Amino acid sequence: MPSVRNPILPGFNPDPSIVRVGDDYYIATSTFEWYPGVQIHHSKDLANWELVTRPLNRKSQLDMRGDPDSCGIWAPCLTHDGEKFWLVYTDVKRKDGSFKDCHNYIVNAPSIEGPWSDPVYANSSGFDPSLFHDDDGKKWFVNMLIDHRRRPRVFAGIVLQEFDPAAGKLVGPKKNIFKGTELDLVEGPHLYKRNGWYYLLTAEGGTAYEHACTLARSRDVWGPYEVHPENPILSSKDAPFAALQRAGHGDVVETPDGKTYLVHLCGRPITQKRRSVLGRETSIQEAFWKDDWLYVKNGPVPSLHVEVPGTPDESKYWAEQRYTFEKELHKDFQWLRTPETERIFRLGDGKLTLIGRESIGSWFEHALVARRQTHFSYDAETVIDFSPTDERQFAGLTAYYCRYNFFYLTVTADSNGQRELLLMSSEISYPDGKLRMPLPEPVQIPNEGKVKLALTIRGVKLQFYYALEDDELKSIGPVYDASVISDECGGHQAHGSFTGAFVGMACSDLNGTALPAKFDYFIYRPVKHESDRYEI
């Protein structure tokens, strides 16, 4: 049988929820503050995956303006009840401090492409909701439960309640059916039924280096649930040199011929500082049943290479992507928080026009269009046409994680209207967001004409470049430490940053006049570099 090298969804693709409908597999992953919400990939063979839709794409479904970094869409659950697809998700409005404001919703669709319904509100008692379709026709809704009193802990357990699709709401009694184990921080629940047993798969340990998958079972959906005799069934917490770290938050699927697989999130840290630049990614493990318990093959430590039905084709993964801007934005791109795209960008005449709004890192309305970093090393390039009148108008190329972590080469102007290049960065600057500008002298450029902007990342080294029309690229600014564009540096370093590195185009007009910047194209070129660790 052929094998695939993990992760199967590289780059920022955490909290996978998998479902099979006939011969088709679908994985839904979290998107946090990036719009549209929820990524859904499709595969026929578990080896080759294609992004097919982001279903939460209009204001009635999702508006994240004001959501802090690493809030927004947490841990969607995608299921199918034999007639339609169901997607449940959380929109987190606050995660810091003693409280978490998180609202859970349910949408459905006749096909994966949609149309997806307007949301039905479920509850706000916790996050990571999941929907289970029982064989008697009932639908059970579970989510982790938050207790701000810490009696005895904030992650208080998994709460169960019935969902009535006709009434469009949760009904009947609710109960905390599982309070977790000594691993703590129980979350990410999924319910299954097999051979008369109800199985509850959860994530524990927090989504850093103690992460794990915990399995429990009961004869009654209401419990009590007994924990797997060899729990956790998946974790890298005791294997610091394993290729796949941070393993946890999983979901289970069966192939048509009865084989079982577990998908889960993981991280591939670089440098001895253990920084996950590519964020939390999705991997797959072969599993098997023994004595009505699920085990991961060669587990609990996840395997880098796993046998799957299909043979992976890596040619697309390594291909250069040259994006042009015609009628629609390419599906690889996302933007931040807002459903009102007409206020931040438009396409026409083969250009992407970004409309200058708020500053980079704004939680409300910032014109930034970017794609995931999916390789350890790459080149990026664009050409910008922008005529700023002063220093409060700037646009350019950015390697971005959040308001506390980004590198940004901009075209701007001084107070007299003379165009110049300004290099800005925010590096591990939580909580004050300190801005650094390393150029000792202004780099003036002509007031007319397009400017080519580029950056390269080779392992942990990031370098910016620029060129005027018909000139060769030349470097500008220092060699940056690219590893700071990572989960571990984005804010609360233990459990507070959940996305991944992006690269893209941005525009701000702090005068409030909505000055536009036009971009001709965008290139993302994967590079194989000796420092990259795909196999180790």
Confidence (pLDDT) at 97: 80
At 161-179, the pLDDT tens digits run 999 999 999 999 999 999 9
Burial (CB < 10 A; 0-12, 13-18, 19+), residue 139, is middle
- The CATH fold of domain 3-313: Tachylectin-2; Chain A (2.115.10)
**Which tens digits make up the pLDDT trace of 472-518?**
999 999 999 999 999 988 766 555 699 999 999 999 999 999 999 99
CA-derived radius of gyration, the chain: 23
- By three-state DSSP, how is residue 270 classified? strand
Report domain extents, the chain. Answer: 3-313, 320-526
pLDDT on residue 431:
83
Give mean pLDDT, residues 363-381. Answer: 98
Predicted pLDDT at 496: 66
Beta strand spans in 291-366 (E): 293-296, 305-307, 321-324, 333-336, 345-348, 351-355
CATH class held by domain 320-526: mainly beta
Of the residues 162, 358, 365, 427, only one is catalytic, namely 365
Q: Is the pLDDT of residue 252 over 60?
A: yes
Residue 483 φ/ψ, nearest 5 degrees: -70, -15
Average pLDDT over residues 234-248: 97
Is 3-313's fold the same as 320-526's?
no
Per-residue pLDDT band at 432 (split at 50, 70, 90): confident
Report pTM.
Answer: 0.97
| CA–CA gap between residue 119 and residue 59 (Å, rounded) | 11
pLDDT in tens, 284-325: 999 999 999 999 999 999 999 999 999 999 999 999 999 999
> 536 pLDDT exceeds 80?
no
Sign of the torsion formed by the C-alpha atoms of 163, 167, 173 and 175: positive
pLDDT confidence of residue 535:
77
pLDDT tens-digit map of 126-142: 999 999 999 999 999 99
Kindly report which listed range (1-5, 161-165, 394-398) carries the lowest average pLDDT score.
1-5
Question: Dihedral of CA 329/64/128/209: which sign?
Answer: positive
What residues have CB less than 8 Å from 124, skipping those under 6 apart? 101, 102, 103, 104
CA distance 270 to 284: 21
Q: How confident is the model at residue 1 (pLDDT cuts 50, 70, 90)?
A: confident
pLDDT band (50, 70, 90) for residue 272? confident
Does residue 243 contact residue 535 with C-beta atoms inside 8 Å? yes
Active-site residue 365, yes or no?
yes
